């Protein structure tokens, strides 16, 4: 597909080099490797703040947690909503870590934008164009996850919906596609990293947690992503995954997260990507 | 997956029989076969009204046309919006055919509900849960298309989001899934029809146009769907497909639609489904 | 893909019309609809002969049964081998029905060719080129099943391996592809029928049994295939499927096979295909 | 799936540890990382020997090259056959590198076994059970590539066909599966590496060349595979890929192969795998 279908996202429209985004004092892309970590879901104040403390200690760049959760069943827990956003705000004040959190309803964009440094668009909403356009207009940075059956060009066109509104801060996320293989929850398409690098200047992160579906696989998938040249990872962690309300089996133990992160950063270094020091001026 | 995850959609929750929905005087399900036809997109008043006239003449049960079009690229034509809805309203007044039209933005639900007899949820929005819940609350019937990578159980859980709001008028639609085979635009999963019949009491229609991507394949796919027991089809037609603004190659010529329809209805009859006469009282 | 990659299989190389194959006095293609039915596996003389009697009575054109069974596990029952071929020979003598049976090892081609009127190539062997070429040289008709991940062009190139050896009697078989959906054993790609009709003059049959994986789905899938224009079906049946050594859940009861077949033939008739009377001279 | 379906391949049947295979003086598995490299196809004596020299110089453990090539079209170049085997024998004598080469016809097993140190089974033949059993009986080590639509358990059951004949030297190979995404030739399922590590004691290598389809992607995919814990890679290289008879676009330039290999070995080292020194006794 010609890159003229996504002129703003296309690499050739950016003097053929990777963009470095600076978001709330952190950098991602252009050699800067960023780790986005936190619980799948904001469950309680304690769970969230203790995880945020552990992430600060481990040295991540962004803290993630879901206040609004899209769930396949209407009868599943859908997140704490505004109360969850308040807890995230407290986590940010306490740790200084910028917040990545998901938006699922276009009518919540203002509430989420008031807390989020990066608004996450989940795989189910990758082609929710009104949502993308509204995020574009909000001016808040966004992380767009690839849909389960989306081609890489469709992901880039989703990004274009945000960019076309004048918002340049878009991060792309590979999180696994749906295939016949059910040994993993989804099939991580690690080749998406170098292919996207050819086509776009935007930073690319990988979500190993959702692809794996089991924490035993999160480290090897993270290593693979980092060694393949990803600009970062977005990964789930919890103080006690066994009691998590959502996706417990795939969340890493917060207590051992630092060990995990050092290994992933070593793999990223092989691909020429290192965590950037925090900017002194924001 | 246990049907307890979609108790309202489950067939076993309906005394193990198919539901017949009555919508604007037309019936679908429980032996009543319904054809939903019209252009992909409302382009002009003339194109829309002439197609509606041809559909009335051909004997379809519902008229379809898109005023809001979700498009992969932000630079593609996105539909006429409110002006398109007005044209659809005129088509309904003129022909008496109930209208099926797509909703893409939860904020447009009132405007669309004012014209639509059936609100269509496209494949890209099958897991847009706020949209589904709002349609549930609107009380307007809905037709939900299966997502490109959605399992049949996920489709049923999407329906459950509408049903759980007290709205029983949900039609499911198989429209092809994404696979490795690119001889067709998508792979029509015709087995979805009998499998859904086992799992749910809701009517099931098939969209041969999007699966095929080429009009030459629309008749055989329609025959297959009808012979497999579908409760209806939703199909695209245009007075001059060569000049269509969207999906021209897959739209049937309106002038020969009646011939097409007689063949499909013959196949439906083999599976025990016949078009219901219009109800005398609405 | 240009049809120059399969010049002998291509429709445009055949004056743009369907071929009618005449095999052991039966016709398939060019309007002649053929049913190939019998047990998955030749288990015993009694089971095989009683099924063959039932198939003769029901009015099928070919009798099928496996003497050599490719199985995913080396520890599963692999068929009766030569003893199974002897039982098939007896079934042919008794009923006059031509035999369709699978070849899995190129070294068995002579033994199988001595009994088979049509040598079946299973999905796992669709790209076993030495096997295809040897069948081509044997001069015996063949039925080639599409591989689980094979494109339609790859299927046509597999056929070309047989045709290139001077053997024109090739039947293609759609039997479902592997996708993410696991509500069925495989996803029947019913569009393969009209697409192959465009590309090749060779007859196309559909195997609903393996796609379905459950007998409840075999009738609707057979109806779909026939209504879409297939030249025949190949279907599994057993006197007592509950006790079958292989694929019991998907085998139809032989006792009710005639009812099933009448419905499928009615669907085929809608697509202009009827069973041909047996040729008076073979 | 219970590992009782592949008791010999199962990890739990091996005291829960990885096996180290020793083949012609080289080691693979259990911490020993092996690189298998060479041209897709043996085209000429010069092309093959010059590549073998470059591979020896670069420090690979095995030399690969195809004398028998399975090709989708019967009209494509099918390899040099016996003449190709002779060239491989000369390459082995000259460099001392053990030979990995493909077997496609069960009737060629003796001829191939006379030259090969490792017999390769291609993706198309993963479920060619007579071929697997014959390789098992030959006693020659084998490398089995995963089929395009094969689950990991099916790959393990294919390995079991060899192991069940008393041949313990089986290497598994992930080489990409077929999905909807066509930005790459196939979708490399990098998670196959850690999943197979859980299920089997057999060594696992990755083929980045066929998954990628383009040499630009071979390095990042190799890095990903190595960092994820693969026991080796099998990769294509050619002195002048532009003139290659087969798969030119995906073959690495032999002249820069050493640079490539150092990076991949660094990634393997992060996962605790290093090239083993050549055994002093063969």
| Total CB pairs under 8 A between chain A and C | 6
C263 touches chain B (CB under 8 A): yes
Separation in Å, CA A131 to CA A69, A108, A167, B73, B130 = 15, 10, 14, 14, 11
Q: Is the pTM of this model over 0.90?
A: yes
Q: D267, A267: Cβ pair inside 8 Å?
A: yes
Task: Please list, in sequence order, all residues whose beta carbon lies within 8 angstroms of the beta carbon of residue B133, skipping any fewer than 6 positions away.
Answer: A74, B161, B162, B164, B165
Residues C220, C223, C226, CA angle at the centre, nearest 5°?
150
Q: CA Rg, chain A, in Å? A: 17
Instruction: Pick A189's closest partner by Cβ from D181, D192, D220.
Output: D181
Return the pLDDT at C279.
Answer: 66
Neighbours of C266 (CB within 10 A): 17
Asked if A217 and D211 come within 8 Å (Cβ–Cβ), the reply is no
Q: Which two tokens stand for residue C230?
A: 């297939």
Taking the C-alpha atoms of residue B7 and residue B156, their distance in angstroms, rounded to an integer, is: 10
Distance, in Å, from the CA atom of B26 to the CA atom of C266, rounded to the nearest integer, reads: 28
Q: What is the pLDDT of residue A279?
A: 66
* Helix then strand then coil, % of chain B, to nearest 5: 40, 20, 40
Residue C217 distance to chain B (closest CA, Å)? 6
Residue where the block lists tokens 């950098």: A27
Query: Rounded to an integer, what distance in angstroms lies between the CA atom of residue B154 and that of residue B276?
Result: 30
Q: Please, what CATH class does the domain formed by D3-10+21-271 belong to?
A: alpha beta
Those residues whose C-beta lies under 8 Å from the C-beta of residue D250, and which sit 6 or more positions away, are: D40, D185, D209, D210, D212, D213, D214, D215, D218, D236
Residue D95: which pLDDT band, with cuts at 50, 70 and 90? very high
Which chain A residues are within 8 Å of B144, Cβ to Cβ?
none
How many other C-beta atoms can be found within 10 angstroms of the C-beta atom of residue D272?
9
* C98: exposed, middle or buried (Cβ count in 10 Å: 0-12, 13-18, 19+): buried
Give the whole-angstrom CA distance, residue C253 versus residue C239: 6
Distance in angstroms (rounded) separating the CA atoms of residues A159 and D158 = 43
pLDDT > 90: percent of chain D: 93
Q: What is the pLDDT of residue D1?
A: 45
Q: In chain B, what residues touch D180 (CB-CB under 8 Å)? A: 178-180
pLDDT band, very low/low/confident/very high, at A281 (cuts 50, 70, 90) = very low
Is residue B238 within 8 Å of residue B51, measured between CB atoms? yes
Q: Which of C156-165, D123-132, D273-282 has the lowest mean pLDDT?
A: D273-282
The whole-angstrom distance between residue D242's C-alpha and the CA centroid of its chain comes to 23
**How far is residue B143's CA from residue C273's CA, in Å, rounded to a whole number?**
34
CA distances from A129 to A7, B74, B126, B145 (A): 17, 8, 13, 17
**C217–chain B Cβ distance below 8 A for any pair:** yes
The percent of residues above 90 in pLDDT, for chain A, comes to 93
Q: Is the ipTM reported for this complex over the cut 0.90?
A: yes
pLDDT at D24: 97
Q: A91-106 pLDDT, tens per residue?
A: 999 999 999 999 999 9
**Which one of C74, C135, C157, C158 makes the best mutation probe of the D interface by having the most chain D beta carbons within 10 Å?**
C74
pLDDT at A277: 86
Q: Do A189 and D187 touch (CB under 8 A)?
A: yes
| Set of chain D residues whose Cβ sits within 8 Å of the Cβ of B179 | 180
DSSP-derived pairing of the beta strands A252-253 and A204-206: unpaired
Mutation choice for C interface testing from D1, D107, D126, D129 by most C CBs within 10 A: D129
Contact: C194, B179; criterion CB under 8 Å: no
Within an 8 Å CB–CB cutoff, is residue D132 touching chain A? no
List of chain C residues with pLDDT < 50? 1, 281-282
pLDDT at A84 over 90: yes
User: From A186, which residue of chain C is nearest by alpha-carbon distance?
Assistant: C180
**Cβ–Cβ below 8 Å for C225 and B224:** yes
Smallest CA-to-CA distance from C186 within C229, C240, C124 is with C124
Neighbours of chain D (3+ CB pairs under 8 A): A, B, C
% of chain C with per-residue pLDDT over 70: 97
- Over the range B97-126, which residues count as b (16 or more CB within 10 Å of their CB) and which as e? bbbbbbbbbbebbebbbebbbbbbbbbbbb
Q: What SS3 class is residue B53?
A: helix
DSSP C189: B
**Contact of A145 with A173, CB cutoff 8 Å:** yes
Between chain A and chain B, the number of residue pairs with CB atoms below 8 A apart is: 75
Which one of B191, B225, B266 would you mutate to disrupt binding with C, by most C Cβ within 10 Å of its Cβ?
B191
Pairing of strands D26-28, D21-23: antiparallel
Residues of D in contact with A153 (CB under 8 A): 183
pLDDT in tens, A136-181: 999 999 999 999 999 999 999 999 999 999 999 999 999 999 999 9
- For residue A224, which of A267, A182, A263, A187 has the smallest C-alpha distance? A267
In this complex, the residue of C104, C106, C129 whose CB is nearest that of residue D107 is C106
Beta bridge partners of C34: C232
Nearest CA in chain B to A129: B70
Distance CA D26, CA D34 (A): 8
Whether the CB-CB separation of C121 and C144 falls below 8 Å is answered with yes
Chain A residues closer than 8 Å to C182 by CB: 182
Is residue D58 within 8 A of residue D71, CB to CB? The reply is no
pLDDT tens across D33-81, in order? Answer: 999 999 999 999 999 999 999 999 999 999 999 999 999 999 999 999 9
Residue window 174-193, chain C: list those with CB within 8 Å of chain A: 178-180, 182
* Interchain proximity C178–A180, CB inside 8 Å: yes
CA dihedral C226, C230, C231, C236 (to 10 degrees): -70
Chain D from 221 to 240: CB within 8 A of any C CB: none
- Span D253-266, average pLDDT: 97
Q: Tell which residue, B131, B234, B127, has the closest CA to residue B173.
A: B234
What is d(CA A270, CA D269) in angstroms, rounded to the nearest whole number? 11
Place of tokens 């001077």: C166
pLDDT value at position B281? 47
Q: How many residues does chain D have?
A: 282
Beta-bridged to residue C177, according to DSSP, are: C187
Q: Phi/psi of residue C172, each to 5°?
A: -95, 150
Bridge partners (DSSP) listed for residue A232: A34, A205
b/e map of A191-217 (b: 16 or more CB within 10 Å)?
A: bbbbbbbebbbbbbbbbbbbbbbbbeb
Question: SS3 of C192, please?
Answer: helix
The Cα–Cα gap between A162 and A179 comes to 28
For every residue of D135-156, DSSP letters joined together read: HHHHT-EEEEEPPTT--HHHHH
Q: Which of residues 36-75 of D touch C (CB under 8 A)?
A: 70-75
Residue C99, beta-bridge partner list: C63
> Is the Cβ–Cβ distance between C40 and C79 less than 8 Å?
no
Q: What is the pLDDT of residue C1?
A: 46
- Beta bridge partners of residue B38, listed in sequence order: B236
Which residues of chain A are within 8 Å of residue B133 when distances are taken between CB atoms? Answer: 74
User: CB–CB of A104 and B161 under 8 A?
Assistant: no
Tokens of B260: 């097409």
Which chains are adjacent to chain C, needing at least 3 Cβ pairs under 8 Å? Answer: A, B, D
| pLDDT tens, N- to C-terminus, chain B (282 residues) | 455 799 999 998 767 799 999 999 999 999 999 999 999 999 999 999 999 999 999 999 999 999 999 999 999 999 999 999 999 999 999 999 999 999 999 999 999 999 999 999 999 999 999 999 999 999 999 999 999 999 999 999 999 999 999 999 999 999 999 999 999 999 999 999 999 999 999 999 999 999 999 999 999 999 999 999 999 999 999 999 999 988 889 999 999 999 999 999 999 999 999 999 876 544
Window from A2-16, A30-44, B199-213, D181-195 with minimum mean pLDDT? A2-16
8 A C-beta contact, residue D1 and residue D186: no
- Residue that is written with structure tokens 């490795």 in the block: B180
Q: Quick check: A206 and A188 in contact, CB under 8 A?
A: yes
pLDDT at A282: 42
């Amino acid at each position: 597909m010609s890159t003229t279908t996504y002129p703003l996202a296309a690499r050739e429209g950016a003097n053929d080099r990777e963009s470095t985004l600076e978001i709330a004092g952190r950098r991602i892309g252009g050699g800067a490797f960023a780790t986005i970590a936190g619980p799948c879901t904001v469950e309680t104040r304690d769970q969230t703040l203790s995880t945020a403390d552990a992430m600060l200690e481990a040295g991540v760049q962004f803290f993630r947690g879901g206040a609004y959760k899209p769930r396949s069943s209407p009868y599943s827990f859908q997140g704490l909503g505004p109360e969850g956003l308040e807890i995230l705000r407290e986590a940010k004040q306490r740790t200084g870590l910028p917040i990545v959190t998901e938006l699922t309803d276009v009518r919540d964009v203002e509430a989420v934008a008031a807390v989020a440094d990066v608004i996450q668009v989940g795989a189910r909403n990758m082609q929710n164009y009104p949502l993308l356009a509204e995020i574009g207009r909000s001016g808040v940075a966004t992380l767009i996850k690839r849909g389960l059956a989306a081609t890489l060009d469709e992901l880039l066109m989703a990004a274009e919906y945000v960019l076309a509104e004048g918002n340049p801060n878009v991060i792309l996320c590979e999180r696994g596609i749906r295939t016949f293989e059910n040994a993993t929850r989804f099939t991580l398409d690690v080749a998406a990293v170098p292919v996207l690098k050819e086509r776009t200047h935007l930073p690319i992160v990988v979500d190993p947690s959702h692809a794996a579906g089991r924490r035993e696989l999160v480290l090897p998938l993270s290593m693979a992503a980092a060694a393949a040249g990803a600009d970062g990872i977005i990964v789930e962690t919890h103080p006690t995954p066994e009691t998590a309300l959502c996706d417990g089996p795939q969340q890493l133990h917060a207590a051992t997260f630092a060990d995990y992160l050092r290994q992933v950063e070593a793999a990223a270094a092989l691909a020429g990507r290192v965590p950037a020091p925090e900017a002194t001026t924001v």
